[in-house]
A and B are shown apart, each in its own frame.
Chain A
């Protein structure tokens, strides 16, 4: 019972997160949802038009595709570690249960 309740809670949580991301996409049609930091730059330029960035990124990524790749890699590594850890813990709990019975 407890286990089932937890599962439902988790399901509701996941669905809520997905909805939170999808609803803006549906509601706002005329936006690119740009993730670029360009517009933050604009806000700064507006306040301090004379400001010049004094340091450049060491790496200039060639384009959006490469950036996407790196972000995917980052997410994949993280997700892998989380999956491994929770799988490990789960297996340990199960293994213990089997020994007992």
Chain B
């Protein structure tokens, strides 16, 4: 009951604020396109991304070695990110963007497993869809597959510690992961393209203010969908979740 109440209340407040302040404006919040980061920055983000990817590979191997049964669950959370990344959803700014779907896996498996799965989604899109790019993959993966999941995991843990409203914790974790992903994207663009007047900060404000607004309803959608899928998993799959010590604390 409480869970529903929270969600409804939050939705109402969100909508009201949103439709009051959002003004139609055309820009796109998606991954950084191929070639659109200067060489130095492209390499920098690759270098920053790789350690997390290696961490992710080890984390993934450990999870599967300890409990081979969870392989299908790994596939499921990967597929979730795969689907959501393909859905370009219209937003109030008059443009479309897509959710990232990395929150679910981060909540269930911890953040770094999602680093591997998220990067694979990005690689697929860069290679086959000309969406994002190989040179910008490091930067895009850093925002979507490193920072996003880390935020999701952190928020979820924190929320579960201070309350036992799991649904709300999941919602908030996934939604904030989505938003942060694009805040990082804005930052990456701002660092690479500082404005002549005002420098990095001015650029960041420019990119972020646009990105954030487009992304708000998508972040909400992503939060809701993550709660939905986790509900389904929990209905039918207590066994694997218990193996992962998921919801050890205060969950129903």
Contact = CB atoms under 8 A, between A and B. Distances in A.
Contact of A55 (B26, B35, B218): B35
A53 B92 contact: no
B228 A41 contact: no
Contacts of A6: 231, 235
Contacts of B88: 35, 71
A8 B161 CA distance: 27
Interface residues on B, range: 35 or more
A47, A48, A72 interface centre (most CB from chain B within 10 Å):
A47
Contact of B27 (A24, A40, A51, A85): A40
Given A28-B94, A34-B95, A92-B236, A55 B135 contact: yes
Nearest to A77: B82
Given A12-B4, A74-B85, A85-B79, A24 B11 contact: no
B232 A35 contact: no
A6, A24, A33 interface centre (most CB from chain B within 10 Å):
A24
Contacts of B29: 40
B61 interface: no
A74 B122 CA distance: 12
Nearest to B36: A53
A74 B82 contact: yes
B206 interface: yes
Interface string A39-79: 11101100110010111111111000001001110110111
B220 interface: yes
Contact of A24 (B76, B90, B126): B90
B252 to A, nearest CB: 9
A56 B206 CA distance: 26
Interface in B1-38: 3-4, 7, 11, 19, 24, 26-36, 38
Contacts of A79: 79, 83
A25 to B, nearest CB: 5
Given A12-B4, A13-B228, A58-B134, 11 more contacts: A6-B235, A10-B232, A21-B217, A39-B26, A41-B33, A43-B210, A44-B193, A58-B130, A74-B82, A75-B86, A78-B79
Rank and list the top 7 A-B pairs by shortest CB-CB distance, nearest first: A53-B35, A78-B83, A31-B94, A81-B79, A78-B82, A55-B35, A89-B236
Interface of B: 3-4, 7, 11, 19, 24, 26-36, 38-39, 72-73, 75-76, 78-92, 94-97, 124-131, 133-135, 167, 189, 193-196, 203, 206-207, 210, 217-218, 220-221, 224-225, 227-229, 231-233, 235-237
